[in-house]
Chain A
Amino acid sequence: MSEEVRGSISLTIDGVAVTVPQGSTVLQAAERVGVVVPHYCYHPGIPTRPAQCRMCLVEIEGQPKLQPSCVFPAQDGMVVQTDSHEASLARRSVIEFLLLNHPLDCPICDAAGQCMLQDYAFETGQLKSRYAEAKVVLGRDRIAEDILYFGDRCILCTRCVRFMEDVAGDNTLIVAQRGHTAYIDTFPGRDLESEFRGNIVDVCPVGALVHEDFVFKARAWDMDNTPSVCPGCSTGCNIDINVTENQIVRVKPRYNPEVNAYWMCDHGRKHLVMANRGLRTEAPLIRRNGDLEAVGWSEALAWTAERLRAENGGSAVTSAGEACESLFYLRKLLSALSVGSGTFRVTTGEQATLSGFPRLKLRSQRAANVAGAELFGFEEAAELPPGEPGKLLVVMGDRLTEVPEGYGARASFFLYIGSHLSTATGNATAVLPVTTFAEMDGTFVNHEGRLQRFHQALQPPGVARPAWMVIGRILSRLGAADEASDVQSAFDAMASETQPMEGLSWAGLGLKGATLSEAGTPVLAVD
């Protein structure tokens, strides 16, 4: 293991010796040896630690009382029992207290299955309540335009209040009243409007805060969870996509200290849930006898490749939300057809910064892979290329909204590689249906040059395939490159030919990504 650090302290947790850096708490020291001290109010991403839930009380030799391990500093020679008779009794008692006025509505609670109160209640095994009194009933409230507050489930850990104040820098959320009638509310006359408010739902250890668009929608155990990267802006927050019945029902931030820590913005959440809506391309379409006609992949690819052979020069546009692998293969295709640089357009919006973790911003460039598009030689442009009459026009990913009527109609060949249909796609010579980022594996490069993997969360509609796969197959028919049959080989082909990615592999990239360096050696993230 690591060598003795200067200023480190050694102590014993449940009989196991551990060495931690000076300034660590007992709870952190316990974590080092794999002992999770149950806790509610403590959250590693929220700086204030009120030690008020009293769940993490542990027995420390020489201390007259049980001590809250979340704030108690680890000291040299300390002997800690996290599970002593007295500590267990105290914890059991906290659970009993928390359940006194709790409605026990797990069967309809969205947190059921992912609830720290439920987990610890089962662990302590108190199946019968000694409480013979009437419960305090607080009911349900809308705490923000899109977030519901179930007061009766709330255990008043105040994580939400402290996230807003300490991390989001917004003191709208408060504890109202006091004692056993206290509840969470917004300050009178103010609304919770922060762009980061959705995180209060994530930090809630129980089912007290729920997004309204998720409420009663899915059970925790019915959802599939896929690690991914948010496509909402160029920050590239690491996320988990929760899917049920092939629908994205919820998105949660996934911890990455280098990018987004424990958080993400609300724009990202909403953007994602909407990501797959719209009129989708489901089958390859080729123009025969003036009309677009649905055909199988083999026919579509052969037909398209055959006609592309005749092309020389033209214009191209991509979306800045396409995977690096797709951009790589598109670049190869454009080179084979002697098409110049190619452009992309980016939607912009107002920037918002998470003041307690300023690295996380909702950035004004609302696309996930602007840096990737630039890496593969595409240039940002305000407008779509008009397309030279009688020349090739290739469009990948851009949804062709707000384009002039008849866009692309005068091209010698208008190749549309995209996931959504629009009026303009009706002018295409061939429409090749591809997946959205949620339906495929791939990588994005964020605003600071971090290459990050995302994974397939949904089944694509019809016969849509990832763009890198589709273009690879055209290239192999043109004899210009080998096709890639899976994302690993697509990535490896890309990395071997793209200097800043040299030496990287799909597996080696892991779930936390690597920073591309101009000098040539990428820096892999450390967990």
Chain B
Amino acid sequence: MGYPHSHPLEVNTLLSRHFGEEDARTLEGWLARDGYEALRKALELDPDAITGAVKDSGLRGRGGAGFPTGLKWSFMPNEPDGLHYLCCNADESEPGAFKDREILRWVPHLLIEGCLIAARAIRAEHAYIYVRGEFFPFSRILADAVVEAYEAGYVGEDILGSGWSCDITVHIGAGAYIAGEETGLMSSLMGGRAEPRVKPPFPAQSGIFGRPTTVNNVETLAAIPMILSNGADWYRQWGTEKSPGTKLWCCSGHLTRPGNYELPLGVPLKEIIYDVCGGPRDGKAVKAVIPGGSSTPLLTANELDCPTTYEGMLEAGSALGTASPIVMDEDTNIVRAMRRIAQFYAHESCGQCVQCREGTSWAAKILHRIEVGEGSPSDIDTLYHLCEQLTGRTICPLADSVVFPLRSSLDKFGGEYEALIGNGA
């Protein structure tokens, strides 16, 4: 297989089964892999039955928040008085995450199938796939697949003779992290700035063009076809009661075998880092891991025994997020790592909320000063103060995102900050 790494734990690859197989991208190759069978089944079901099956499977949103997918779908009005929209969030921008990209790249028809089934469930007749601007080659692959599916009658008018129609539009973003936040995404899709807005109204009440809309992540939608084909019980054989199924893990940082792995939810984080990814390079020790993408609290080497479920990671004081552990070995300068993360969020802040606009860049500047040895002891207090005022004060959670890793680094690696400040004094 051409795909970089695989591991014995990956016995049940579901989403990633065809990663690395170039012909799976084509309609012919996809049909040869039993493609669009789930769609055929969905076309015979009524929308509520599809939603019911997804509810029973316990599938949770893979975009980071882990909201139950079936429940989200059920917020859509049952009796449409006009258009409904499905929006697939393919604006994967979280530092550390590279799972949606792989789905677009290897199995675009799986995503198309998932979108169609979801659209049917929420009574939408138009699905937008909002692809991150930087994913140019992958959006081409997806667009080619959409064209092929249109030509073969899987998308568009009267799909497979069912009488049901659904369009799919691939929309390419202009490159903004905040377009990954659902209301920011919708604003960008409608031609505005990618700026989140206050909820309510929630997308299911007023979304794209003011119509009821459901926004789902790529990986979430890609899991729909197999759930529909095989049933909720089948899906629940992996994972736990609250976190069923499998999950794509994006492992990066100082690892021997970094990469994308599909694992059942619940595998201890330590196993993923050491057994699956071979631990840090050159026999070094782990210093810290940011387990769920850069916006989650970091864990120290002693805190890695937690099960990788939504609930287990919360209990460990972090979050599953996008399941994208960034591993830092013993040589890592934590202050430098935090400075880089803070700079990212400062750069990506849309600038609406004062705290986020000014606070993220202030934090980045303070961290930079400490890093270059010009910190002062009061900087630690100021950083803690920033953490307090950036939490829960803004329209969207971007400001919170910088606080999670920053506060945990101050708590757990305060000594490193003090050492650098000491040097500077």
Binding site for B on A (CB under 8 A): 50-55, 57, 64-66, 68, 71, 89-90, 93-94, 97-98, 100-101, 130-133, 155-156, 158, 175, 177-182
Contacts and interface: CB of A to CB of B under 8 A. Distances in A.
Contacts of B152: none
B354 A131 contact: no
A55 B198 CA distance: 15
Contact of B358 (A51, A100, A130): A100
Given A94-B354, A131-B362, A179 B347 contact: yes
Nearest to B345: A179
Interface in B364-394: 365-366, 369, 376, 378, 382, 385, 389, 392-394
Contacts, number: 92
Contacts of A101: 358
A54 B347 contact: no
Contact of B357 (A66, A68, A180): A180
Nearest to A155: B354
A290 B340 CA distance: 90
B382 A130 contact: yes
A60 B385 CA distance: 23
Nearest to A72: B198
B361 interface: yes
A52 B393 contact: no
Count chain A CB atoms within 10 A of each CB in B193, B350, B357, B395 and give the residue with the most: B357
B419 interface: no
B366 A133 contact: yes
12 contacts: A50-B198, A51-B198, A71-B198, A93-B355, A94-B354, A97-B359, A98-B358, A131-B362, A133-B362, A179-B360, A180-B358, A180-B361
B407 to A, nearest CB: 16
B402 interface: no
Given A90-B389, A178-B176, A180-B349, A54 B361 contact: no
A94 B386 CA distance: 11
B392 A178 contact: no
Contacts of B378: 130
Given A97-B355, A101-B358, A130-B382, A66 B393 contact: yes
A526 B39 CA distance: 64
Contacts of B317: none
Nearest to A49: B198
Contact of B350 (A54, A71, A178): A178
A130 B379 CA distance: 9
Contact of A179 (B361, B366, B382): B361
Given A54-B353, A179-B346, 13 more contacts: A50-B198, A50-B352, A51-B395, A90-B393, A94-B354, A132-B366, A156-B351, A156-B357, A158-B352, A178-B351, A179-B350, A180-B346, A180-B357
B282 to A, nearest CB: 37
Contacts of A100: 358, 362
Count chain A CB atoms within 10 A of each CB in B362, B369, B378 and give the residue with the most: B362
A93 B389 contact: yes
A93 B197 CA distance: 21
Interface string B191-218: 0010101100000000000000000000
B354 A54 contact: yes
B28 to A, nearest CB: 43
Nearest to A65: B392
A66 B392 contact: yes
A156 B355 CA distance: 12
B347 A50 contact: no
B395 A52 contact: yes
Contacts of A66: 392-393
Nearest to B376: A132
A22 B369 CA distance: 51
B348 interface: yes
Nearest to A52: B352
Given A51-B198, A57-B393, A133 B369 contact: yes
Contact of A94 (B193, B351, B355, B360): B355
A181 B394 CA distance: 18
Contact of A98 (B351, B354, B366, B394): B354
B380 to A, nearest CB: 12
Nearest to B391: A65
Contacts of B361: 179-180
A68 B348 contact: no
Contacts of A133: 362, 365-366, 369
A28 to B, nearest CB: 16
A52 B353 contact: yes
Nearest first, the 9 A-B pairs at minimum CB distance are A97-B358, A52-B352, A182-B351, A179-B349, A133-B365, A93-B389, A180-B361, A65-B392, A179-B351
Count chain B CB atoms within 10 A of each CB in A57, A64, A97 and give the residue with the most: A97
A184 to B, nearest CB: 11
A325 B61 CA distance: 73
